Amino acid sequence: MRLSVLAVTVCYNWIMRVLGIDIGGTFTDFVLFDGSRLVIHKRLSSPHDPAESLLAGVAELGGAQAVIHGSTVATNALLERRGAPTALVTTRGFADVLAIGRGTRPSLYDLEVQIPPPLVPRKWRFEVDERLLPDGSVLRSLDDLSLQQLVELLSQAPVEAIAICLLHSYANPDHERRIVEALRAWRQDLFISASHRVLPVFREYERTSTTVINAYVGPLMGRYLTRLEQGLAALGIADLRIVGSDGGSMSVPTATELAARTALSGPAAGVVGARYVAGAAGYERLITFDMGGTSTDVALCPGTLPLTADVQIGGLPLALPAIDIHTVGAGGGSLARVDAGGALRVGPQSAGADPGPACYGKGEAATVTDANVILGRLPYDHFLGGRMLLDVERARAALFPLAYQLGCNVEEAALGVIRVANAAMERAIRTISVERGEDPRSCTLVAFGGAGPLHAAALAEDLAIPRVLVPRYPGVLSALGMIAADTSHDTVVMVLRPWHEIDPGELARLAARLAGEASAILEAEGFGTTRRRLQWSLELRYNGQGYELAVPVAETHSGSPSEQQFAEAALRFHQIHERRYGHAMTWRPIDLVALRCRSIGLATPPPLRPDALPTARTPQPIAVRPAILNTAGRRDVPIYERESLGSGVQITGPAIVVQLDTTTVVPPGWQLIVDDQLNLVLERV
């Protein structure tokens, strides 16, 4: 079902037609830059086969020369536990690392907490008789007989993928390489995930879990990408890239081998797009607010992309670099209900794309979208640019049982649903800002996703955030972020030694080695020296601490940082520690855990300044409708069409702005200003 297409002329000239595609729980979003225009397109997603909606949308847009795609295959496989049957090969005595984990209690006072079982059952965890020491030296060699016995045992296990994670292989991968060679000689069709390729760092549980996750989702990702490449090839498209969890894109072979890197690709691209748009508008300190159909993703960007290696999906640690995003189960399709104690709950369950919210015409359960329709915040005849009419009466019927249980009218129940959803999203923003020592009052809230601009001003009001930025294309910003995404790779070397014992020359040699590896990767990707950046960081901790902090060192074109830059970074560690934890122990020795290099191939994103619409004119509303925007009750609110709002236009709330991919609410006491890039800037009057 084709829902909508919008084209905007842009003053620029590109050679290639580049298409960014983001598959969401409800809609699949497309942004095509054809050299002169940005073309925006949306289709209902096809949960049974995500590639179906994707390929149909590409055909409707007339194809492209390159496709950059964010995939949910790995995420869904982990959340739904439907990955490939996987075996684990590890050092003798370590087969139960996955089951033991860290011994943490996810819910401190829950006496009946259910811990999800490991992805690999005990019968498919195999041990080999070998042992390395922490420095990589061999304590017990891996002999040929052990390899032969391993192959015989694996031949009886009906698995598609094998994860290999030997103790201390980050310091010496020789034993893992021998196992890979033996398994390849035995069966060519196996998907093999070796920890020295996936995550060559210490901490056995996290490294084992990440390697197993990569093996678990690898065959599914491989089949999906093969099918997708074939479908795109039939449309004349040979260039396909996949966005990773760190916000950078990668080639199909890399995404196939390191499938776990794609687990958070869609949300990561949204943060990249938000930072790109906000940076072009002059805003650096951001809180990104992406409210879609099933969830809300928030991230704090203090001038840079916030990267972390501490991610969990479905209760499983995934220790690969990813943009630091906090997700809550509150979206436009989140289901509202009254629990056994009589309290109103919203989410995390969602109506999804099928049946969707009741107002879409198929569902019967009340959702956040239905509440917005009843309150008049989401005009029923302007959804998706008027191409899809919303059923107000069906939404009202869905909320009526909820109102009856709560003892109120339907409008009051709808307002309650919005408040509960907003409270969950407000807690998420506090988690990534206030709880980390960051002041949201110094940030700009960048609202996007299909439902973000509906709720952004109310959240900003509650959090005292002074400004809301609604990008030109908020509903498809993740797809736009994919076009803007750089190519990225992450290389790391473990050190695990006190800082004062490390000779500067030794550190320089390690950095030179990483610089050579990173430059070779970018060279193979086709990036010349002028389009390369190497971002260096040290992972430091106080002696005796269990966890480290990443301290930025420098950014270089191809070489490594100087000795002075490394020394200055070590001194900055105290400041970063104090900002994060409220104290610093300047007298305590520092340990260098790892040296990390993030290699970046710079993309050429499309320009954002469109041909300006007429400025300094008074826009005329297309309608005036009754709506409830706050506790003051229902009042007449003018509705404006965003395409009619030129640069420089100012509108004082209350007002509603409709467009193809979202609806923006301007509450009373707020003012909307259209900047020179046609972003909507909402500020308190």
Q: What is the largest CA-CA distance in the chain?
A: 83
507 pLDDT more than 50: yes
Most confident of 33-37, 79-83, 548-552: 548-552
86 and 210, same domain (yes or no): yes
Residue 186's domain is classified under what CATH number? Answer: 3.40.50
Query: Does the pLDDT value for residue 111 go beyond 90?
Result: no
Task: Answer yes or no: are the C-beta atoms of 68 and 18 closer than 8 Å.
Answer: yes
Lowest mean pLDDT among 32-36, 352-356, 590-594: 352-356
Is 568 buried (19+), middle (13-18) or exposed (0-12) by CB count in 10 A? middle
Asked if residue 131 and residue 29 are part of one domain, the reply reads no
Q: φ and ψ at 672, to 5 degrees?
A: -105, 130
Per-residue confidence band for 264, with pLDDT thresholds at 50, 70 and 90: confident
Determine, yes or no, domain membership for 29: yes
Banded model confidence at residue 351, pLDDT cuts 50, 70, 90:
confident
What pLDDT is recorded for position 450? 85
Sheet holding 2-9, edge to edge: 2-9, 37-44, 27-33, 18-23, 66-70, 239-243, 249-251, 487-498, 590-601, 532-542, 549-556
Q: Tell me, yes or no, whether 471 lies in a domain.
A: no
Average pLDDT, rounded, for the chain: 88
Q: How far apart are CA 82 and CA 72, in angstroms?
A: 13
Residues 64 and 133 in one domain: no
Q: What is the pLDDT of residue 613?
A: 53
pLDDT at 265: 85
Q: What is the pLDDT of residue 520?
A: 87
Of 196, 216, 236, which marks where a domain is finished?
216
The mean-pLDDT minimum among 71-75, 182-186, 187-191 falls in 71-75
Tell which wins on pLDDT, 168 or 633. Answer: 168
Read off the pLDDT band of 609 (50, 70, 90). low
**Is the separation of the CB atoms in 593 and 540 below 8 Å?**
yes
Whether 91 and 193 share a structural domain: yes
The Cα–Cα gap between 56 and 199 comes to: 36
Distance CA 550, CA 569 (A): 10
Nearest Cα neighbor of 258 from 305, 322, 194 is 194
70, 158: one domain: no
Residue 163 banded pLDDT, cuts 50, 70, 90: very high
Residues 6+ apart with CB under 8 A from 199: 170, 206, 207, 210, 211, 319, 320
Residues 103 and 185 in one domain: yes
Q: What is the pLDDT of residue 505?
A: 85
Q: Are residues 208 and 233 in the same domain?
A: no
Answer whether residue 303 is part of any domain: no
Yes or no: say if 162 and 183 are a contact pair by the CB < 8 Å rule.
yes
Lowest mean pLDDT, pick from 95-99, 171-175, 463-467, 602-606: 602-606
CA dist 238 → 66, 128, 252, 494 (Å): 7, 42, 11, 38
Q: What is the mean pLDDT of residues 433-441?
A: 88
Q: Is the pTM of this model over 0.85?
A: yes
| CA 590 remoteness from chain centre | 32
Q: Nearest CA to 595 among 488, 529, 497, 486? A: 497
Percentage of the chain beyond pLDDT 70 is 96
Position 7 pLDDT exceeds 70: no
CB contact at 8 A, 32 and 80: no
Q: Are 88 and 125 in contact (CB under 8 A)?
A: yes
pLDDT at 106: 72
Query: Per residue in 614-641, pLDDT tens?
Result: 554 678 899 999 999 887 788 999 999 9
Q: What is the CA radius of gyration of the chain?
A: 26
**pLDDT of res. 39:** 86
What local confidence, expressed as pLDDT, does residue 611 receive?
A: 52
Residue 47 domain flag? yes
pLDDT tops 80 at residue 16:
no
In this structure, the answer to whether residues 71 and 101 fall within a common structural domain is: no
289 part of a folded domain = no
**What is the pLDDT at residue 278?**
93
Indicate whether 49 pLDDT > 90. Answer: no
Domain range holding 561?
Answer: 487-601
d(CA 113, CA 562): 50
Mean pLDDT, range 641-647, rounded to an integer: 89
CATH number of the domain residue 249 falls in: 3.30.420.40
Average pLDDT score over residue span 495-503: 91
Judgement on whether residues 104 and 198 belong to the same structural domain of the protein: yes
- What's the burial of 636, exposed, middle or buried (CB within 10 Å: 0-12/13-18/19+)? exposed
Residue 499 belongs to a domain with what CATH number?
A: 3.30.1490
Report the amino acid identity of residue 278.
A
What confidence tier does 1 reach under pLDDT thresholds 50, 70, 90?
very low
Please check whether residue 677 is in contact with residue 281, taking contact to mean a CB–CB distance below 8 angstroms: yes
Mind listing the pLDDT tens digit for each residue in 112-137? 877 788 999 999 999 999 999 999 99
- Same domain for 518 and 583, yes or no, is yes
Q: Evaluate the CA torsion angle 271, 272, 274, 278 in order and state its sign.
A: positive
Provide mean pLDDT across the span 392-408.
93
Q: With CA atoms as reference, report the closest residue to 243 among 528, 29, 473, 551.
A: 29
- Residue pair 674/680 in contact (Cβ under 8 Å)? The answer is yes
Same domain as 238, residue 121: no
Calpha distance 672→654 (Å, rounded)? 10
Domain count, the chain: 4
Does 617 map to a domain? no
Domain end point (choices 184, 216, 248): 216
Residues 6+ apart with CB under 8 A from 29: 21, 22, 40, 41, 42, 475, 476, 478, 479, 661
Whether residue 6 has pLDDT greater than 70? no
pLDDT at 595 over 90: yes
139 in a structural domain:
yes
| Residue 44 belongs to a domain | yes
Residues 139, 192 share a domain: yes
Is the model's pLDDT at 9 over the cut of 50?
no
Give the pLDDT confidence of 287-335 residue by residue, as tens digits.
999 998 888 899 999 888 888 888 888 788 899 989 999 888 888 888 9
Mean pLDDT of 367-391: 89
